[in-house]
Amino acid sequence: MVSSQDRFTNFLRDMKNVHCFLILRVVAASQDLLRFKNQSSITIAIVGPYGWVDGFRYNGSQVIEGNDTVDIASLSDINNWSTGMWWFWNQQATMLAIDQINKDPKILPNTTIKIKRFNNVRINGSQEVFSESLAPQVAQEIATSHPDVVAAMGELFSRTTLYSNEIYSHFQIPFCGATQADVRLFNMENYPFYFQSFPFSSIVNVYQIILKSLNVTQVAFLCRAPLTLSNTFQSTIISSLQQNGIHVAAAIQHTTVSAEFIADVLEAANIRYIILDSSYAAGSFLYYTLAK
């Protein structure tokens, strides 16, 4: 049985590798802004809900202390997971990735990446996405009060990123999102300096390659939102899979039915592979239930 410590070790390793790639993309996006500067270091802002984790100290929205003194044990309880805990380990992986890049003489030689961390939610507020968000104000603060920041990355939610990234783009600050999945963010007129690690097109290609390598011919698609043709993410996945010979035998909005019902459908249709569009909490619970 895999221990909790091993799970966190594997999680941080995988997240560190992902963030190495994202950081290099952020740096590449900022090169046009740096080409007239002769400097040996650049500063990237990491923006997220630090306020949902106890123990940090702030100057305005900037995190100035606490990352090394927070209660790690309380942030490692996988049976009491929260968005704040997820963010803490996510940003830890980012810092590990930056440390690895800075130590490697073959990656960005002559350039050291520095970071500034910023909280974009109300401190100790409820972990409710929209009403607690200070993302636009933080974006304004970074753009006007931190001229050394050449790019930013992070946040978690599309609804808040839609607002904050109008500000980042206005000030020509490249921003990389990691978990956002709203097609409106691809409007290059509103968000010319935004990009993300969750592209609608390439993720389908990844699904196809993996499924075909396993000789899979049918899958179930479990989504969080109602199935509609207007949902670009859903329609792109379903149509692309079917065009490439992979039958979507069942499409279920998992937020409206029980996990046991989904298990019965999968068993009745003899479906062993699923594609899941879900929040981390609902997705983890669903995986756990189906595994039983």
**Confidence at residue 230, expressed as pLDDT on a 0 to 100 scale:** 45
**Confidence at residue 9, expressed as pLDDT on a 0 to 100 scale:** 56
Least-confidence region, from 5-14, 176-185, 270-279: 5-14
Q: What angle do CA 135, 148, 198 make, to 5 degrees?
A: 45
Query: Are the CB atoms for 154 and 50 separated by under 8 Å?
Result: no
Q: How far apart are CA 156 and CA 187, in angstroms?
A: 19
Mean pLDDT score, 30-40 = 51
φ, ψ (nearest 5 deg) of residue 52 = -90, 5
Look-up of token digits 């952020």: 26
Q: How far apart are CA 117 and CA 106, in angstroms?
A: 26
**Confidence at residue 169, expressed as pLDDT on a 0 to 100 scale:** 93
Least-confidence region, from 29-43, 56-70, 76-90, 120-134: 29-43
**Per-chain mean pLDDT for the chain:** 79
Neighbours of 281 (CB within 10 A): 12
Mean pLDDT score, 19-29 = 57
Tell whether pTM > 0.85. no
> Does the pLDDT value for residue 12 go beyond 70?
no
> From edge to edge, which strands make up the β-sheet containing 194-196?
57-59, 62-65, 112-119, 41-48, 149-154, 175-177, 194-196
Q: How far apart are CA 206 and CA 185, in angstroms?
A: 21
Segment 204-263, tens digit of pLDDT: 677 788 888 889 999 998 887 776 644 556 777 788 888 888 999 998 888 888 888 999
